Structure 1
Amino acid sequence: MELVRDPLLDAVTALASARDEASVCAIVRRAARELTAADGVTFVLRQGGFCYYADEDAIAPLWKGRRFPLESCISGWVMLNKKYTAIADIYNDERVPHAAYRPTFVKSLLMMPVRREDPIAAIGAYWATHHTATPLEIGVLQSLADAAALALYNVQLDGELKTALRQERNAREAAESASRLKDEFLALLSHELRTPLHVINNWLWQLRQGKSIQPDILTKALEVIERNTALQGRLIDDLLDVSRAVAGKLSIDSRLVDLGALCAAVVENGQPAAREKSISLEMMKTDNARVWGDPDRLQQVLWNVISNAIKFSERDGRVQVHVKLNGARALIEVTDNGPGVPGDFLPFMFDRFRQADSGMTRRQGGLGLGLTIVREIMSLHGGTVSAESPGENQGTTIRLEFAVAEQPMAGSEVVSQALHANPPVH
Structure 2
Amino acid sequence: MTILDQLPRFSAQDTGAVGEGTLDPLGLSPVAERIAELLAPGLRARMGQPRFTTLAAVGAMAQPDPGTVSASNGPAADIAFEWLVAEALARDKGANPPHTFPGSRKVARALRRNERVSASDYLASPRVFGFNGVYRPFARYAGVLEDKSDELGLKATGLVEAWEQDQGLSGFASRQPGTEGNRFRAEASKYVQDAMEKGVVTAPATGQFLRNLAQVANPTGAGPRERAYLRDLLLHGRVGDGEIRDELVQLIANELAAGPDDMSISDRSLAEFVVPKASTVTRRVLESAIAYETCAAQMDYAFRSVLRHGSSLHGAFTLDMAADAEGVAEIAADFPALVDAAHTAAGALQSPLWAVSPFEAFTEPLDPLQFAQALITHHHRVQANKAKLSWLDVDGDGWRVRRLFRDQPELDPTAWLHPMRLTTIAIFLKATA
Fold match (TM-score > 0.5):
no
From the CA coordinates, give the structure whose radius of gyration is larger.
1
TM-score by length of 1: 0.21
Does 1 or 2 have the higher relative contact order (CA < 8 Å, sep 6+)?
2
TM-score by length of 2: 0.20
